[in-house]
Amino acid sequence: MSIVLGPNRYGKAETRLVRVVRDGGRHHIKDVNVSSSLSGDMAAVHLTGDNAAVLPTDTQKNTVYAFAKRHGVDQIEDFALLLARHFVEAHPTIRHARVEIEEYGWDRRGEHSFVRRGGEVRTCVVHHDADGRTTVVSGLKDLVVLNSTGSEFHGFLTDEYTTLQPTTDRVLATAVTARWRHTGGGRDYLDSYDAVRDCLVQAFAETHSLSLQQTLYAMGERALTARAEICEVRLAMPNKHHFPVDLSPFGLDNDNEVFFAADRPYGLIEGSVLREDAPDAGFAWE
Ligand SMILES: O=c1[nH]c(=O)c2[nH]c(=O)[nH]c2[nH]1
C-alpha cells in the first residue's frame, strides 16, 4: 500500500486589521478580517519537513499589515486581489493564493467616532411581587463603538511586571453592555430607550478619554442627567485593544494608521453610576 499527499493549503487565518485614514481631523476607518491560504510545491514540507518552499504564515500576516499601510484598504476585493497576486508573483513555489476578507461596517458618529453597524440587542428585566412591588431595568448589549483618537492612558501604577507604555493617543473601542433602572413605571419605553442609548453614544464620542473608566462614568452621568426617569446605570465595557503594528522592519512608519484589533484578552471595565438619592434597588438587579 502506498500513501500519498492529497490536496493541501496553509495560511494565516483571521488577521484582524483596522486601517485609519486621517483627512485632517476627520477620520475614516476600515475594519477587516483577512485570511490567506497558499498552495503550490508543498510536497517536501509535508514529506520531509523541508521548509524551503514555505512562505511562513507570519510573513503572510505581516504582508497584510504592510500592504494596508502602503496601498491603503479601499474595496476589499481590490485589497484581496493585490495580496493574492503578490503571493503568487513574488514566490515561484506558491502556485495558488486564496484570500478571504470580511469587512465590518461602521456608521459615523462624529469626526473620529463610529458605531459598528449590525446593531445592538435591546434588553429588559422586570420583577413584580405579591406585595405589589415592581422594578424595571432596561438595557442594551453589543453596542460596539470606537474612537480613532481622543483617548489617552498614562500615569498609571507600575510595578516590576508593568510593560505597558503610556500613550497620549490610542484607539478606544468597546462593546457596551448597559442596564438602567427606572424609577416608577408607566412611560414610553421606546422613547426612553432611544434617548438613553443616544446619551451613551454621544458621551462616548464626545469625552476626551484618559481611561475607559472615565468614559464609563461620563456615559452613565450623561444618561442620568438627561433622563429623570432613570436612577442608576450599570455598565460593562470590554477594552477592545487596538495595537499599532510595528511596520519598521519593512521600512514603513505607522503613525496610528494600521492596527491589530485583538479580540482577547481584553480589559473589562465595569461600574455603576447612580443618583445619590436613588431609591433602594430591591430585587431590581437580581
Ligand atoms: O482605559 C484603560 N483602563 C485601564 O484600567 C487599563 N489597563 C490597561 O492595561 N489599559 C487600560 N486602559
Whether residues 93 and 188 share a domain: the answer is no
The pLDDT value given to residue 12: 98
Whether residues 97 and 125 share a domain: the answer is yes
Confidence of residue 185 (pLDDT cuts 50, 70, 90): confident
The pLDDT value given to residue 8: 98
Euclidean distance between CA atoms 213 and 231, whole angstroms: 20
The Cα-based distances of 20 to 30, 124, 155, 188, 192 in angstroms read 7, 36, 26, 39, 34
DSSP states along 204-266: HHH--BS-HHHHHHHHHHHHHHH-TTEEEEEEEEEE--EEEP--GGGT---SS-EEEE--SS-
The Cα-based distances of 185 to 189, 225, 266, 269 in angstroms read 9, 19, 37, 30
- How far, in Å, is the centroid of ligand 1 from the Cα of 160? 17
Whether residues 269 and 162 share a domain: the answer is yes
Tell whether 256 is covered by a domain: yes
Q: Is the pLDDT of residue 186 over 90?
A: no
Tell whether 284 is covered by a domain: no
Between 113 and 1, residue with greater pLDDT: 113
Q: Region 142-163: what's the mean pLDDT?
A: 98
Q: Is 31 annotated as a binding residue?
A: no
- How far, in Å, is the centroid of ligand 1 from the Cα of 211? 6
Whether residues 146 and 242 share a domain: the answer is yes
Euclidean distance between CA atoms 258 and 65, whole angstroms: 7
> Cβ < 6 Å from ligand 1: which residues?
153, 164, 211-213, 239, 267
User: What is the ipTM score, two decimals?
Assistant: 0.99
Tell whether 280 is covered by a domain: no
Whether residues 21 and 109 share a domain: the answer is yes
- Closest ligand 1 atom to residue 215 Cα is 1
- How far, in Å, is the centroid of ligand 1 from the Cα of 168? 13
Q: Is 153 annotated as a binding residue?
A: yes
Residue where a domain stops, chosen among 99, 114, 132: 132
> For the chain, how many structural domains are there in total?
2
- The CATH number covering residue 175 comes to 3.10.270.10
Residue where a domain stops, chosen among 132, 167, 191: 132
Q: Which of 156, 157, 158, 163 has most ligand 1 atoms within 8 Å of its beta carbon, as the pocket-test mutant?
A: 156
- Closest ligand 1 atom to residue 164 Cα is 9
Tell whether 4 is covered by a domain: no
Q: Which of 145, 167, 212 has most ligand 1 atoms within 8 Å of its beta carbon, as the pocket-test mutant?
A: 212
The Cα-based distances of 266 to 62, 166, 173, 241, 280 in angstroms read 23, 17, 11, 7, 33
Confidence of residue 1 (pLDDT cuts 50, 70, 90): confident
Q: Which amino acid is at 176?
A: V
Tell whether 227 is covered by a domain: yes
Tell whether 77 is covered by a domain: yes
The pLDDT tens digits for 235-275 are 999 999 999 999 999 999 999 999 999 999 999 999 999 99
What cell numbers appear for 256 in the block?
Answer: 496610528
Tell whether 1 is covered by a domain: no
C-alpha dihedral over 251, 257, 260, 263, to 10 degrees?
Answer: 170
- Catalytic (active-site) positions: 12, 57, 241
pLDDT above 70: percentage of residues in the chain: 100
Q: Is 57 annotated as a binding residue?
A: yes
The pLDDT value given to residue 184: 80
Whether residues 197 and 105 share a domain: the answer is no
- How far, in Å, is the centroid of ligand 1 from the Cα of 241? 9
Whether residues 21 and 125 share a domain: the answer is yes
Confidence of residue 210 (pLDDT cuts 50, 70, 90): very high
Whether residues 154 and 226 share a domain: the answer is yes
- Closest ligand 1 atom to residue 151 Cα is 1
With a CB cutoff of 8 Å and minimum separation 6, the contacts of 260 are 16, 17, 65, 242, 243, 244, 245
Tell whether 73 is covered by a domain: yes
Residue where a domain stops, chosen among 102, 132, 162: 132
Whether residues 82 and 165 share a domain: the answer is no
Whether residues 99 and 147 share a domain: the answer is no
Whether residues 93 and 173 share a domain: the answer is no
Q: Is 75 annotated as a binding residue?
A: no
- Closest ligand 1 atom to residue 209 Cα is 1
Cβ atoms of 60 and 38 closer than 8 Å: yes
Q: Which domain holds residue 86?
A: 10-132
Whether residues 232 and 269 share a domain: the answer is yes
